[in-house]
Amino acid sequence: MGTIRIDKRALPRLLADGSAGRGVSYQEAFAELAATHRGLPPDRIVPLLRRAADQALLGFTSADLYEQAEAISTGQRYELRVTLT
Helices (H), 8-55: 11-14, 26-36, 42-55
For residue range 27-85, list pLDDT tens digits in order.
999 999 999 999 999 999 999 999 999 999 998 999 999 999 999 999 999 998 888 98
Contact (CB, 8 A) for 4 and 26: no
Q: How far is CA 7 from the centre of its chain?
A: 16
Please tell me the pTM assigned to this model. 0.87
β partners of residue 6: 84
Per-residue pLDDT at 39: 97
One-letter amino acid at 59 equals G
* Euclidean distance between CA atoms 57 and 79, whole angstroms: 20
pLDDT of residue 66: 96
In a 3-state reduction of DSSP, which class is residue 5? Answer: strand
**For residues 49 and 69, is the Cβ–Cβ distance under 8 A?**
yes
d(CA 73, CA 85): 31
- The whole-number pLDDT of residue 5 equals 87
